[in-house]
Structure 1
Amino acid sequence: MDIAASRKSAVKNQKWSNWRKYRVLLLMMIPGMIYYVVFNYIPMYGVVLAFKDYRFMDGILGSPWVGLKHFDKLFADPYFYTVLKNTLIISFYKLLFGFPVPIIFALLLNEISNVRFKKVVQTVSYLPHFISWVILGGIFFSILSWEGPINTLITLFGGTPSLYLADARYFRTVLVVTHIFQSFGWGSIIYFAALSGIDTQMYEAAVLDGAGRFKRMWYISIPMIAPVVAIMLILSMSGILDAGFDQIFNMYNVKVYNVSDIIDTYVYRKGLVDMSYSYATAVGLFKSVIALILIFVVNRIVKMIGQKDSAIW
């Protein structure tokens, strides 16, 4: 009993010592924890609306339970499958073409020896991230308009101008390109951090062995940041049903609904415009459940291919 009590006391003292040692970092966590509790965990109570027939006068608690009525309605609606298809296609395109760009950008910029030039390029690449899609949408509307610079150049070379934001053939391409423009610089930050953590002696040894820049990148940089890439891919898969509400809402129009209407814009119209709060909540809950399942699936795949250390859990 004395040995057990002494061990328990030692563990308690160790925990208290850790608390004191990391007290500054723990205090810095408090604002972030409060943010997530207030804006992410407390609102989760509203999920019960998906199983109720919400009435404004009765409130959430007073509204009657209807079970899976709204989910039955959801899966019986043919237009929902169009919305789901658009969401998956746009998200897949953004992941396929957008995910590698920050990695390639970070790798290429890491090979530049001029520190001042590198910092300037990094700063410029971050700027679009801080510009609202309301402003970016207006900019791209002007660039891609009938009399904008793109159509002016096409006309100059004998081509036929087109309203790209009102043409279903081009709209998804415009979404992907503008998404990459807005996000690649900010997305490269984590890869810059991973590259900065690589031991410089490895590069020096490779130079002595006669390895050029490409070989150093291929055999040192990429393998060293592979765990970070794997984790970011897992996290990206969780948002495969998040095709970018802000971007699409500010850029789409009725003419391209058939190729651009996604789950988030559908929820917006059903919930805030049509005031079908319960149905909109059911759609949002369906999206969240699928995203959670995808995280588990991709995490499992990463483990199966021998990257256990790169998995989230």
Structure 2
Amino acid sequence: MEEVNVRQRAVTTTRSSELSKRLWKNKWIYVMLLPGVLYFLVFKYIPMYGLVISFQDYKPFKGISGSEWVGFEHFQRLFTEPDFLQILGNTLILFVMNLLFYFPIPIILALMLNEVKGDLFKKTFQTIVYLPHFMSWVIIVSITFVMLTMDGGVVNDLLEYFGLEKVNFLLAPEWFRPVYILQVIWREAGWGTIIYLAAIASIDPQLYEAARMDGAGRFRQMWHITLPAIRSVIIVLLILKIGAVLDLGFEHVYLLLNSMNRNVAEIIDTYVYTAGLKQGQFSYSTAIGFFKSFIGLILVMMVNRISKKMGEEGVY
């Protein structure tokens, strides 16, 4: 028995020594990972403790430990709010528009850039389409305001020049969603091509050479080589996109929101600000955030399972 224990301790020591050597050998990789790990730990995992206030009547001066527990009262209030279905519908409509109109654009742009042979033109075009990503939504919406306003806006001046009536793009409810999705495409489409271009760059060039020898043109090469090669990347990004179904972001929509288009522009994120944080209803706003995260988690798990059944890798 003692001999077995000695052997087990020896095996454990050997494994610990090997692990220490591997860690020391790759120490700079772990150092590079450290900022990212700390970011998620401090801003993503530790704040999850605060979700408990969604089940409390939270009072800041009492703290979490001193606030009264109310169970699912805030969730019941959310689901029985008269405007809840309208707000949820607005959020889902904007998400579907993002999925249908924005999501394919970076893929198409990446495929087009991959076909460009002139390095100077390619780099210039990439720089131009990347630039809007580094502008805040305040700047994007301000530029849109200058272009679309009825008082001196470029677009309305052109409509008037051609004898057409001016259109109130900024206040008309029917124009909110087209303006929103065009702004998203303008700002994010170029930046979204980076991952796809990286995936395309990893494709073996011999596959294209073999296809050319078989008489395949550039479109056939794209359809039968490039797209299948980046399919797993597309599916992973699609799963992550679906996970953010109720998380469209606050700033962009809030800047476009006004009293005239509120019935189509109010989404969950702006509702959290106006009905939750602005009025000091911290528990209620936390319950809404909990609901959003829970729905996102369920959808990611479902879509990931479907993708695995279809033979794809998924995100986990």
Question: Same-fold call, TM > 0.5?
Answer: yes
2:172 matched to which residue of 1?
167
Q: What is aligned with 1:60?
A: 64
Matched, 1:141 2:141: no
Residue 81 of structure 1: CA displacement? 1.4
- 1:228 & 1:52 partners in 2: Cα distance? 41
Amino acid at match of 2:92: L
177, 196, 201: which is aligned to 1:196? 201
Cα deviation, residue 6, structure 1: 5.6
> Aligned residue for 1:243?
248
**1:10, CA displacement in angstroms?**
4.5
Classify the secondary structure of the residue corresponding to 1:48.
helix
Residue 184, structure 1, aligned to residue 189, structure 2: yes
Q: Matches of 1:6 and 1:42 in 2, distance apart? A: 38
TM-superposition CA deviations, 1:138-194 (whole Å, max 9, x none): 111111111311112222222221111211111111111110111011111000100
What runs of 5+ residues in structure 1 fail to find an aligned partner?
A: none
The alpha carbon displacement at 1:3 in A equals 6.5
Report the CA distance between 1:275 and its aligned residue: 1.1
Offset at residue 211 of structure 1 (A): 1.5
* Counterpart for residue 108 of structure 1: 112
Name the TM-score, length of structure 1 as normaliser: 0.95
RMSD: 1.5
In structure 1, what is the Cα distance between the partners aligned to 2:65 and 2:8? 49
Give the aligned residue type for 2:315: I
Deviation of the 1:13 alpha carbon: 3.5
Give a deviation string over 1:218-274, Cα, whole Å, max 9, x none. 111000000100101111111111123221111221111111111000001122211
SS of equivalent to 1:236 = helix
Separation in structure 1 between the aligned mates of residue 156 and residue 66 of structure 2, nearest angstrom: 57
SS of residue in 1 equivalent to 2:59:
coil
Identity %: 45
1:45 maps onto 2:49 in alignment = yes
C-alpha contact 1:126 1:185 (8 A) present in aligned 2: yes
Gaps of 5+ in 2: none
User: How much does 1:15 deviate?
Assistant: 2.1
Code of the aligned partner of 1:259:
V
* Residues 165, 252 of structure 1: 8 Å contact kept: no
Deviates more, 1:66-75 or 1:146-155: 146-155
1:311 paired to 2:281 = no
- Residue from 203, 212, 221 that aligns with 1:207: 212
Distance in 2 of aligned mates of 1:7 and 1:125: 56
Report what 1:81 is aligned to. 85
TM-score by length of 2: 0.94
Give me the whole-angstrom Cα distance separating, in 2, the residues matched to 1:194 and 1:79. 43
1:270, 1:277 within 8 Å by CA — same for their partners in 2?
no
- Greater CA drift, 188-197 or 298-307: 298-307
